[in-house]
């Protein structure tokens, strides 16, 4: 199936590099090029590309505004290409995701780049072109009450204190995670362990961005780190994140699980030891990582939540979990934080009354 693509970059040289790169894959059809955001918006309306590659720093209309306008007026997948992995550009990257971009990748250096890197970039673009995007900023909306999956157990009954919240996300995940953390109180929230699939070189900046925009302390995990209330431990690159009931964090250099390292399933499986004192949350993402792990947590007594299809950028991971029966509850993104707050408050009160 041919993928129609629009290149947006104010650099003629960079557009040429992308043009030549795309020409190597017959599945791509270059339908247009734009030198600024305003021209990109016009061409999106006119050409209706399957995918847009977007620069950020451009005249007339920058990439942020172009992404917001595209997602509002003519929604389609947008992948941001950055030329630098400096702290400044990485900060720009997460602002782009918050504006509605699906993914941020490094710009190709030229056709001299290794074949494996060319193939990886083209593969990522092809995968993003198949994502069905929504026409509004889903994490800024008021969502309807979610549907409960069948379950004989109330999330606020039994189990004692909630001692751990596990979060897993992939494509579309950073703004979704940000939205949930912004809806929680660092002072009244148990420790949080997070696995977010993200490209190499972005973990430190993701932690910094979430810390600056949510009020939580978010840190990449280190061997021997300890879980702390109001703190988010983020899986580092190329290692699985495990949590022990003692509160100690372990990093495992093992094979890929569900195609990933770090893997959401690896985190969720380790959280089985917490039983009913844990909550597992699986958010938007491609593939099936986390689905089996969420079922493992549910089987051990944890309350498990899957993001619903309407508010997911990609309903792969949460959809697979729902299909397996791993979700105690299916909720829109905008309802998850309040639900978790209610569960923690009710459980803590019940546990206190029993003392």
The residue among 142 and 212 whose pLDDT is bigger is 212
Name the average pLDDT for the chain: 88
How confident is residue 110, by pLDDT bands cut at 50, 70 and 90?
Answer: confident
Instruction: Decide if 197 is catalytic.
Output: yes
Q: Which of 93, 170, 270, 276 is catalytic?
A: 170
Q: Inform me whether the pLDDT recorded for 354 exceeds 80.
A: no
Handedness of CA 187, 192, 198, 203 (dihedral sign): positive
CB 82 within 8 A of CB 89: yes
Q: Does domain 142-354 have CATH number 2.40.50.100?
A: no
Q: What percent of the chain has pLDDT over 90?
A: 64
β-strands 303-307, 329-331 pairing: parallel
> Would you tell me the crossing angle of helices 37-47 and 63-73 to the nearest 10 degrees?
20
Mean pLDDT of the region 42-48: 97
Q: Which residues pair with 329 in a beta bridge?
A: 305
Residues 6+ apart with CB under 8 A from 158: 276, 350
Q: Inform me whether the pLDDT recorded for 348 exceeds 90.
A: no
Q: At 27, which helix (H) or strand (E)?
A: none
How confident is residue 145, by pLDDT bands cut at 50, 70 and 90?
Answer: very low
Domain limits of the chain?
3-136, 142-354
Secondary structure class of 213 (helix, strand, coil): helix
Instruction: Decide if 9 is catalytic.
Output: no
Mean pLDDT of the region 311-321: 92
Q: Does domain 3-136 have CATH number 3.40.50.2300?
A: yes
Q: Which of 10, 50, 99, 197 is catalytic?
A: 197
Buried/exposed code over 200-209 (b: 16+ C-beta within 10 A; e: otherwise): eebbebbbbb
The residue among 314 and 326 whose pLDDT is bigger is 326
Q: Inform me whether the pLDDT recorded for 142 exceeds 70.
A: no
Q: What are 206-261's pLDDT values in tens digits?
A: 999 999 999 999 999 998 899 999 999 999 999 999 999 999 999 999 999 999 99
Q: What are 17-30's pLDDT values in tens digits?
A: 999 999 989 999 99
How confident is residue 333, by pLDDT bands cut at 50, 70 and 90?
Answer: very high
Say how many CA atoms lie within 13 Å of 52 toward its Cβ: 36
Task: Quote the pLDDT of residue 146.
Answer: 43
Q: What are 82-102's pLDDT values in tens digits?
A: 876 555 556 777 888 888 888
How confident is residue 159, by pLDDT bands cut at 50, 70 and 90?
Answer: low
The encoded tokens of residue 249 equal 């964090």
Q: At 32, which helix (H) or strand (E)?
A: strand 28-34
- Residue 287 gets which letter from DSSP? S
Q: Inform me whether the pLDDT recorded for 331 exceeds 60.
A: yes
The residue among 133 and 17 whose pLDDT is bigger is 17
What are the DSSP E strand ranges found in 181-296?
192-196, 217-220, 231-234, 240-243, 249-252, 278-282
- Residue 47 gets which letter from DSSP? H
How confident is residue 137, by pLDDT bands cut at 50, 70 and 90?
Answer: very low
> Which residue's structure tokens are 């009913």?
276
Q: What are 279-299's pLDDT values in tens digits?
A: 999 999 989 999 999 999 999
How far apart CA 4 and CA 49 sit, in angstroms, is 5
CB 9 within 8 A of CB 32: no
Q: Inform me whether the pLDDT recorded for 353 exceeds 90.
A: no
Task: Quote the pLDDT of residue 151.
Answer: 45
Compute φ and ψ for 304, nearest 5 degrees: -120, 140
How confident is residue 15, by pLDDT bands cut at 50, 70 and 90?
Answer: very high
Mean pLDDT of the region 192-214: 90
Q: Which of 289, 308, 312, 335 is catalytic?
A: 289
How confident is residue 349, by pLDDT bands cut at 50, 70 and 90?
Answer: low
Q: Inform me whether the pLDDT recorded for 315 exceeds 60.
A: yes
Residues 6+ apart with CB under 8 A from 132: 314
Name which of 96-105, 129-138, 215-224, 268-277 the model is least confident about: 129-138
What's the chain's length in residues? 355
Name which of 60-64, 121-125, 167-171 the model is least confident about: 121-125
Instruction: Decide if 289 is catalytic.
Output: yes
């Amino acid at each position: 199936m041919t993928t129609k693509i629009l290149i947006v970059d104010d650099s003629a040289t960079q557009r040429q590099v992308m043009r030549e790169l795309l020409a190597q894959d017959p599945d791509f059809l270059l339908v247009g090029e734009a030198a600024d955001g305003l021209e990109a918006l016009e061409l999106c309306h006119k050409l209706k590309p399957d995918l847009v590659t977007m620069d950020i720093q451009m005249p007339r209309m920058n990439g942020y505004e172009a992404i917001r306008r595209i997602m509002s007026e003519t929604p389609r997948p947008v992948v941001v290409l950055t030329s630098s992995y400096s702290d400044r550009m990485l900060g720009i990257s997460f602002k782009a995701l918050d504006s509605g971009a699906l993914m941020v990748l490094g710009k190709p250096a030229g056709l001299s780049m290794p074949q494996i890197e060319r193939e990886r970039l083209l593969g990522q673009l092809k995968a993003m072109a198949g994502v069905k995007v929504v026409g509004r900023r889903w994490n800024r909306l008021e969502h309807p009450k979610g549907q409960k999956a069948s379950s004989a157990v109330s999330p606020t009954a039994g189990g004692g204190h909630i001692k751990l919240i596990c979060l897993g996300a992939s494509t579309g995940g950073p703004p979704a995670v940000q939205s949930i953390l912004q809806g929680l109180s660092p002072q009244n929230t148990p420790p949080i362990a997070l696995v977010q699939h993200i490209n190499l070189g972005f973990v430190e900046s993701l932690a910094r961005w979430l810390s600056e925009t949510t009020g939580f302390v978010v840190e990449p995990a280190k061997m021997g780190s300890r879980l702390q209330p109001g703190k988010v431990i983020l899986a580092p690159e190329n290692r699985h994140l495990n949590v022990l009931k003692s509160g100690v964090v372990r990093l495992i250099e093992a094979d890929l699980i569900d195609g990933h390292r770090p893997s959401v399933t690896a985190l969720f499986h380790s959280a089985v030891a917490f039983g009913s004192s844990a909550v597992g949350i699986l958010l938007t993402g491609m593939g099936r990582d986390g689905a089996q792990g969420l079922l493992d947590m549910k089987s051990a007594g944890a309350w498990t939540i899957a993001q619903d299809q309407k508010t997911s950028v990609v309903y792969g991971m949460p959809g697979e979990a729902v299909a397996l029966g791993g979700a105690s509850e299916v909720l829109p993104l905008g309802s998850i934080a309040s639900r978790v707050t209610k569960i923690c408050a009710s459980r803590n009160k019940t546990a206190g009354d029993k003392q």
